[in-house]
Structure 1
Amino acid sequence: MADAELVKAIAFGLTYFYLKCKQSEIKKRRARRQRRWWMKKIHHNRTRQFIEEKFNELLYEPSGEFDNFCRMSYSDFEFLLQKISPMISKHDTDFREAIPAKFRLAITLRFLASGDSYKSLHFLFKVSVSMISIIIREVCRALNEILKDLVKMPTTAEGWLNIEEGFRTKFPHCIGALDGKHVVIESPTHSGTEYYNYKKTFSIVLLALVDSKYKFVFADIGSQGRISDGGVFNNCLLWKRIIRNEIDFPPPCPLPGSNINIPYVFLADGALALSQHSSFDVYDSSGNMVTPGSWRRDNDEYNALQNLPQIPRRSPMHGSI
């Protein structure tokens, strides 16, 4: 009997000791690390006056520095700001003033335009790295929400004919130029060669259909870099709708000076197979390519996605607009 009671006592003691240790570990995890400082000294002069002065310096520079800084005109900037301001604005508190919506949009546009690291933007805008990471995500979500309806395909034959008017002088019956772009990224964790492309970089693919003014009509974003432009196109929503005859293309009609009915087509390069509604690159009398690929002419100058460490795996159908 004495031995049994001794075993029970030891077991109880060990259990109690184990529970106390676990409670201590939980308290340590929950304990909030004390801040070494409330705000870094370089952030102290980040006032509304400082923000306005920074914008005015860029805006009134005669060489057009604002357009280069944000990769858009100030009128376009104001248009976006008016749309997303209610979605990204924050309230001031007793401790500090909120970062204005104008500054939040400028931080995001600069990141997308240059691909600068958060640390670099931190020194430029005097906003902490952690706050910049939050701002960019919030603003990108807001931009996607307000602009998603601006990229849409025509729903009628008349809409496609309006696009054809822009190409008519150089290539009659063209209703859009189709091309793909490899956007370089850092290799996602445990992805192997899934995003490794023929250019020996890691990338995701942007496949876009544009009109003669480089305006996007359709875009498919997120396919793995190992997939060719033809493979991306064959799995995108646009091709699925074409083969199901769900798109109201204009009926075939003769070209000028001919009596043979010819279908309306997309212009593309050799990466996409020739079919009823696609053609290859065409050059005009001056030897210049008509449109395919020219919408991405400035893309290689900057790339924000190179600094994104994690790009989730996506199927070729993911991200279609």
Structure 2
Amino acid sequence: MRRRKKRSIWVKDWIKRRAQLGAYNQLLSELENEDPECYRNFLRIKHEDFQYLCNKISPAIKKQDTNMRLAISVEERLAITLRFLASGDWFRSLSYLFRVPRQTISKIIPECCEAIYRFLKEDYMKVPSSEDEWKKISEDFRNKWNFPNLVGALDGKHVVMVAPQHSGSVYFNYKGTFSIVLMALVDANYKFIYTDVGCNGRISDGGVFTNCTLSMALSEGTLNIPPPQPLPGRIKNVPHVIIADDAFPLKPYLMKPYPFRNQPGPNRVYNYRLSRARRVVENAFGILANRFRILRKPIELCPEKVTKIVSATCVLHNFLLDRNSRHLYAPQGTFDEEIDGVLIPGSWRSDALPDSALFSERPLASNMSNLSKEIREEYKEYFVSPEGEVSWQYRYIS
């Protein structure tokens, strides 16, 4: 066994001067008073929201002062965590910046991330529990994306990390990296409705979905999703659905594109309309990684800590979109926009990762039921009918 190195000093002198020269007490105080825009850039959050978070998670992360030394304050702990999420800096770099030992930071960040997720999820990322809440989501998709009876866009994102010790190929994915999977359901306003984080990257997106609680709730009908109803101008009842790509199985509650190329014109219209509505989940993943840069590099932590980090970024994404800081977190032009069907790419795409979470090669899921196919056919007929078509859709299927 390795012999533990004996300490030569209790606390280094430069760390002792944290109260006077640390980043929180000096740099952030200056930015708050002199340059609020740089303050937001440094932490990805404005000062009022920072104080709200401090008050919210304080019971879980506040530590007791002792006769030996003063505890690191809640504000410093949260600032260290937000800077880590915003920049992806190494613990050692944060140690020099905040004058906090690296070993202490390694404990602070997972603890804060867990508290952020636990205390914010009920208010900012709760799965809808009533028909009225689901109907509101469905109306947003119909008004913004011309897709009725739709209650969410589903996809998975691989969060890359350094290979865990003694894990073999468990976390090795089809992209050739080690990862855990973020499975997310997103509404029409780019907010996460549901997330499942932590499944090893070796499992396909369809496999992750099949084994997650959302799939079980959908198949058992326990989510209080509104009952089936006809599409506008149609007669046949169809259920409210979520949409996904070819990696997922076709189900009565889960619509996916027609596979393969050289499809007939109506099928290509359906694929275009489905892909157009699915753009919300691509944008949500894109802006998430753009704002929280820790997601843009291999994370050198164990899978349990990576799971806490990813969960915290998702709930912070919703938190910042919900509050008055939306125009600061995601200003005009951040997300994709459309003008008469012409796509104007969001600003996040100019800094996007090369392997997009939506358009990478994936194994196709099968096992389609006849009922699922009939529902997809009804959507296809609606999208080419006078009640359901949009004027520009035929320009994008040639």
TM-score normalized with structure 2 length: 0.64
Question: How much has 1:221 moved relative to structure 2?
Answer: 0.9
- CA distances 1:138-183 after superposition (whole Å, capped 9, x unpaired): 3233223313434322222222101112211221111111111000
Other-structure match for 1:298: 287
1:92-241 alignment to 2 at 5 Å?
92-150=65-123, 151-169=125-143, 170=145, 171-241=147-217
- The alignment covers a number of residue pairs equal to 285
Q: Distance in 2 between matches of 1:94 and 1:247?
A: 52
1:36 to 8, 14, 20: 8
Q: Distance in 2 between matches of 1:33 and 1:207?
A: 43
SS at match of 1:296: helix
Pick which of 110-119 and 55-64 moved more: 55-64
Question: How much has 1:118 moved relative to structure 2?
Answer: 1.1
- CA distances 1:86-119 after superposition (whole Å, capped 9, x unpaired): 3322333444332211010011122223222211
Pick which of 32-41 and 231-240 moved more: 32-41
Q: Distance in 2 between matches of 1:156 and 1:209?
A: 17
Q: Distance in 2 between matches of 1:283 and 1:55?
A: 47
SS at match of 1:307: coil
**Unpaired segments ≥5 residues, structure 2:** 258-270, 305-310, 316-398
Q: Is the 8 A contact 2:62 2:73 kept in 1?
A: yes
Question: How much has 1:196 moved relative to structure 2?
Answer: 0.9
Q: Distance in 2 between matches of 1:250 and 1:110?
A: 41
Q: Using a 3 Å threshold, how does the CA distance of structure 1 residues 257 and 271 change in structure 2: closer, same or farther? A: same
Identical residues among aligned pairs (%): 43
Q: Distance in 2 between matches of 1:311 and 1:39?
A: 30
Q: Is the 8 A contact 1:115 1:306 kept in 2?
A: no
1:81 to 36, 54, 63: 54
Q: Is the 8 A contact 1:164 1:174 kept in 2?
A: yes
Q: Distance in 1 between matches of 2:299 and 2:280?
A: 30
Q: CA RMSD in A?
A: 2.9
SS at match of 1:232: helix
- Asked if 1:264 is matched to 2:240, the reply is yes
Q: Is the 8 A contact 2:160 2:299 kept in 1?
A: no
Q: Distance in 2 between matches of 1:231 and 1:93?
A: 49
Question: How much has 1:289 moved relative to structure 2?
Answer: 5.4
- CA distances 1:223-250 after superposition (whole Å, capped 9, x unpaired): 1111111111111111112222222221
Q: Distance in 1 between matches of 2:26 and 2:16?
A: 15
Q: Is the 8 A contact 1:204 1:222 kept in 2?
A: yes
Q: Distance in 2 between matches of 1:267 and 1:65?
A: 39
Other-structure match for 1:16: none
- CA distances 1:53-78 after superposition (whole Å, capped 9, x unpaired): 32223334547222222223333222
Q: Distance in 1 between matches of 2:48 and 2:244?
A: 33
Other-structure match for 2:303: 311
Q: Distance in 2 between matches of 1:36 and 1:222?
A: 40
TM-score normalized with structure 1 length: 0.79
2:19 to 39, 47, 58: 47
SS at match of 2:158: strand
Q: Is the 8 A contact 1:283 1:289 kept in 2?
A: no
SS at match of 1:247: coil
Q: What amino acid is the match of 1:35?
A: R
Q: Is the 8 A contact 2:226 2:240 kept in 1?
A: yes
Q: What amino acid is the match of 2:242?
A: F
SS at match of 1:180: strand
Q: What amino acid is the match of 2:294?
A: N
- Asked if 1:69 is matched to 2:61, the reply is no
Q: What amino acid is the match of 1:45?
A: R
